[in-house]
């Protein structure tokens, strides 16, 4: 039967990298202890350094852009209704006076 691979959580990966980077444990020792291939360790390290800037980015509200899109949509909807109401009032004014909206 085939041995199942262990799926490491992001926190576990960081802990392994920390042991190497801060505590100076050799990669070979960590890999033997955890049953990792060194290429896996190096891939984690590469991903860690490539995505490290994300830790320092400002945390924006997750739905901020969705909220903004909804606001823009609703503002357009309100504006189009205002135009229809104004047009409707214009037509009703001409109808009540019996004059034509279109000069001849």
Domain range summary for the chain, segments of one domain joined by +: 10-55, 63-99
Q: What's residue 43's pLDDT? A: 96
Give tens-digit pLDDT for 82-101: 888 777 776 666 566 665 55
Q: What's residue 35's pLDDT? A: 93
Contact 27, 41 (CB under 8 A): yes
Q: What's residue 92's pLDDT? A: 67
Instruction: Measure CA 13 to chain center.
Output: 23
Mean pLDDT of the chain: 84
Give tens-digit pLDDT for 34-61: 999 999 999 999 999 999 888 888 776 6
Helix then strand then coil, % of the chain, to nearest 5: 70, 0, 30
User: How far is the C-alpha of 53 from the C-alpha of 31, rounded, in Å?
Assistant: 26
């Amino acid at each position: 039967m085939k041995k199942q691979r262990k799926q490491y959580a992001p926190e576990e990966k960081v802990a392994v990298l920390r042991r190497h980077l801060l505590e100076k444990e050799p990669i070979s020792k960590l890999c033997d202890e955890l049953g990792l291939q060194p290429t896996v360790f190096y891939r984690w390290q590469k991903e860690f350094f490539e995505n490290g800037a994300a830790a320092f980015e400002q945390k924006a509200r997750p739905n901020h852009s969705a909220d903004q899109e909804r606001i823009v949509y609703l503002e357009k909807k309100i504006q189009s209704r205002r135009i229809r109401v104004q047009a409707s009032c214009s037509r009703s004014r001409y109808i009540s006076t019996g004059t034509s909206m279109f000069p001849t």
